[in-house]
Amino acid sequence: MARPTIAIVGRPNVGKSTIFNRMVGDRQAIVEDKPGITRDRLYGTGEWFGKAFNVIDTGGIEIDGEDEILRAVKVQAELAIEEADVIVFMVDGKAGITPADEEIGQLLFRSGKPVVLGVNKIDNIKMQEEIYEFYSLGFGDPIPISGAHGIGMGDLLDAAMVHFPELEDEEYGEDFIKIAVIGRPNVGKSSLVNAILGEERVIVSNIAGTTRDAIDTPFEREGQKFVLIDTAGMRKRGKVYEATEKYSVMRAMKAIERADVALVLINGEEGIIEQDKHIAGYAHEAGKAAIFVVNKWDVVEKDDKTLHQFTQTIRDHFLFMSYAPVIFVSAKTKQRLHKLLPMVVEAADHHSMRVQTHLLNEVISDAVAITPPPTDKGRRMRLNYVTQVSVKPPTFVFFVNDPSLMHFSYERYLENKLRAAFDFTGTPMRLFTRKKSSGDE
């Protein structure tokens, strides 16, 4: 189920990044008192009264700017507007309405999206009357806020939530395995979807970014039901669009939220770039099962060591996803493609696997006996009990005498022991440590 999306839009230097940081509760955006410092859209997730949402922080729109960066951030903002369910239009209460604000207002009117008007830099109650001139922009009641002090954020989020779409129940039942095909533009996502389906369902072109929208395709293979979610990648030619690849990340995030298994596509010809890590990282953080699919392997010059070397390169770059298997395919020639769906089924099974409590505790007891927890200032952690609390991904809680004594390296050791005893290939795991109380067992 995809979360609603808020895009924060406005001219440069009105405080968009500060508001973004307030919404996501993290200093993800660069904040500097200089117009145009936020050049790329940034993405985050926030929560308000139990409702989660995505947030896009856009570069400031500079309507008449001839500078290429300013034109690029205008494109970035337009793409964000297209992706958003509701737009927070930020203006500067100290500066008043500027011609750029009026132009942006026209752009937002044309988008047809719901708009909430936030007047930033209203730092105290004496400045409240500064907001009245902003009624003339035509977006209803302006909401006075101070990003610097956190004033008015609740009112802003309340107003935005009114426009959140009703989340529809997932139309596919538990008997479907939902597969998100994710990757940067032009790694062959659409070609892979067509090859799996055996028909030309999706437009395929060598020009990066020809798939405009995410496309769901349900199908059945050997009695198992699947849904393929093909994510769009948007990138146009020319420096004006330099950074618009980040648009594909937002699409990937939305697809990942709905998926059971993420196929992380890597271009075998080009190798691994930083964008691959960003996109794979979203799947990992979302707790989804994952498989690395190296496409275009048919055109790679290789010897008997190439496959092993490329696999090792993936392991080196994606240390945080050592659980994800790797397969080398060609969507064009169908090389090894018959092995992909069985791997997907296996990863999905492991992602939803539940282990009996007594078996878990036997494995962990043996692990502790072989390698006891290290001491910390003369104190040693005592591990009393472990239980699995959920699946998708498998999540385990360790009850101990003092959670602060659980060292990261020992937690990794316990995870490795669980993976060795029970096959969790293809899925991340979540491990939590809690203090044992008398009622836990």
Could you list the residues known to form a binding site, using ranges: 10-17, 57-61, 120-123, 183-190, 230-234, 295-298
Cβ-based neighbour number of residue 438 at 10 Å: 5
Backbone angles phi, psi at 16, to 5 degrees: -60, -45
Report the distance separating Cα 45 and Cα 187, nearest Å: 27
Across the strands, what pairs with 229? 180, 216
117 burial via Cβ count (<10 Å: 0-12, 13-18, 19+): buried
**Secondary element (H or E) of residue 46:** strand 42-48
End-to-end CA distance of the chain: 34
* 21, burial (CB in 10 Å: exposed 0-12, middle 13-18, buried 19+): buried
CA distance 265 to 248: 13
Q: Which amino acid is at 93?
A: G
Q: State which H helix or E strand residue 289 sits in.
A: strand 289-295
Instruction: Indicate the pairing of strand 395-400 with strand 430-435.
Output: parallel
Other C-beta atoms closer than 10 Å to the C-beta of 211 total 23
- Residues annotated within a binding site for GTP: 10-17, 57-61, 120-123, 183-190, 230-234, 295-298
How far is residue 386's CA from residue 83's CA, in Å, rounded to a whole number? 43
Q: Where are the alpha helices (DSSP H) in 286-339?
A: 306-317
